[in-house]
Amino acid sequence: MRRRDVLLVAILVALVWNGLPAIGAGRSEEHRFEVVRVVDGLRHPWGLTFLPNGDMLVTERPGFLRRVRDGVLVDEPIDGVPAVNSRRQGGLLDVVLHPDFAENRWVYLSYAGDGEGGVNTEVARGRLAGDALTEVEVIFRARPKTPGSLHYGSRLVFARDGTLFVTLGERYTEMDEAQDPSNHLGTVVRLNPDGSIPADNPFVDGQEGAPEVFSYGHRNGQGIDVRPSDGSIWMHEHGPKGGDEINVLRAGANYGWPAITYGIDYSGAIISEKTHAPGMEQPVLQWTPSIAPSGMAFYDGTAFPRWEGDLFVGALAGTHLRRVVLEGDEVVHQEELLADRARRIRDVRVGPDGFLYLLTDHSDGEILRLEPR
C-alpha cells in the first residue's frame, strides 16, 4: 500500500474512532439511506420524543431524563424525575408529550415504581420548565405491586381523541393474572390526560373489569403507535420462546395470554396447547422464533415516500430494524434492516424531519438517524 493510501486509511480510522456522526450506509428494497449517529454515551436509553424547538428528550433506564440540543447531549439531566426502581428491566422507561405540549408543557413518563408489596409500572407527568420538571404528579399506578423485576410493559401513546394508552406487562411470575381484567397485570389501560377514567372505557362500571382497562390478555407490550391512515391503535408484545405478536387493539378484547400462545416456556415446557380459542383475538403477525420487539412506529414522513404506511419495529434479540408492509390489516411483506450492525434496537420514532430515529440498548447507547442518500 502506498504511503498516501496508508495516510487516508489512518484518517478514516481516526474519524470513526472520534465518533463523527456518519457511521455507514444501508439500503432497503425501497430506499437507500445513511446511518448517522446523533449522540452516544447514553446509559441504556429506552424512550425518545421530540420537542417543538428541535430538542429531543431521551430516557435512560437508570433513572435519568436527558436533553439533546443541536446534536449534543446536554451534560446535566432534567431535574424533577420521580424515583425509579432500576433493577433488571425496571427503571425510567417511556416518555411522550401531551398533544398540546406547546401550550401546557406536560411531559409524561412511565417507570418502575416501588410501593407496598413490591414494584409495578407507574405514570407521572410534569411541566417542562427549562431543565426541570415542575408540578410533578403521579397519574397512574398499576396494581397490584408485585415482587420481581421483569415485564413492565410501559409504552405510552396518545390517541387521536386525546386519551392516553399505557401498555402493562404481567410481571412474568403472575402470567395467569393476565386473564383477569379486574387487575392491571397484562393489560392496556386508557386514561384521560390527568389520569381520570374516560367515560366510554369498556369496563367503566367496574363490573367485569377495572375501569381503567381497555384490553387484556397481554404478556409484555413494549411497542405501541397510532396508525395515521385510520387512527387505530397497534401494539406489539414479547412472547416467551417464540410467539412475539403484533395486535390491533379493540375495546374490551382478550388477546389470549397465557391461555393461547404461539410460544413455549424458556425451559421448553408447554405453556398452552392452544393457539386459538373462542372469544380471544388472533395477532396480525406473530414471530417464531422471537425477535424480542421493542419500539414501533408507522412511517408517515416525506423523506422516504415509498415507506409510507409501513410499520417499523426494533428488535432486541434480533438486533435489527424490522420493516413490516401492510395492506389493510394484513401483513404482506417483511424486511430486515441494519442486521449487519448487531445493535439491540430499543425504540423507533419518526422525527418531525421525516427521518427515522432509533435508540440502541447498551451501556454506551446511541441515538441513530436514518437519512435518505
pLDDT per residue over 295-347, tens digit each? 999 999 999 999 999 999 999 999 999 999 999 999 999 999 999 989 999 99
Does some domain include residue 6? no
Longest dimension (CA), the chain: 80
- Residue 5 binned pLDDT confidence (cut-offs 50, 70, 90): very low
Instruction: Write out pLDDT tens, residues 131-178.
Output: 999 999 999 999 999 999 999 999 999 999 999 999 999 999 999 999
pLDDT given for residue 24 in this prediction: 87
Q: State mean pLDDT over 67-71.
A: 97
Does the pLDDT of residue 2 top 60, yes or no? Answer: no
CA distance 327 to 318: 25
Buried b (16+ CB within 10 A) or exposed e, 209-235: bbbbbbbbbbbbbbbbbbbeeeebbbb
CA distance 80 to 194: 18
- Residue 9 binned pLDDT confidence (cut-offs 50, 70, 90): very low
Give the active site residues. 151
**For 54, which DSSP code?**
S
The sheet that has 45-50: what strands, in order across it? 45-50, 56-60, 64-69, 72-73
How are beta strands 233-237 and 320-327 bridged, if at all?
unpaired
Does some domain include residue 221? yes
Does some domain include residue 25? yes
Does the pLDDT of residue 4 top 60, yes or no? Answer: no
* Residue 359, number of CB atoms within 10 A of its CB: 27
Does some domain include residue 208? yes
pLDDT given for residue 20 in this prediction: 43
In the block, residue with C-alpha cell 404528579 = 137
Cell of 31: 430506499
Q: Which domain holds residue 280?
A: 21-372
Does some domain include residue 222? yes
Does some domain include residue 3? no
Task: Output the 3-class SS for 316-347.
Answer: CCCCEEEEEEEECCEEEEEEEECHHHCCCEEE
Q: State mean pLDDT over 67-77.
A: 97
What's the number of domains the chain is made of? 1
Amino acid found at 294: S
Q: What is the CATH number of the domain that holds 353?
A: 2.120.10.30
The structure's pTM equals 0.94
Does some domain include residue 13? no
DSSP 3-state of 198: coil
- Residue 22 binned pLDDT confidence (cut-offs 50, 70, 90): confident
Does some domain include residue 324? yes
Amino acid found at 145: K
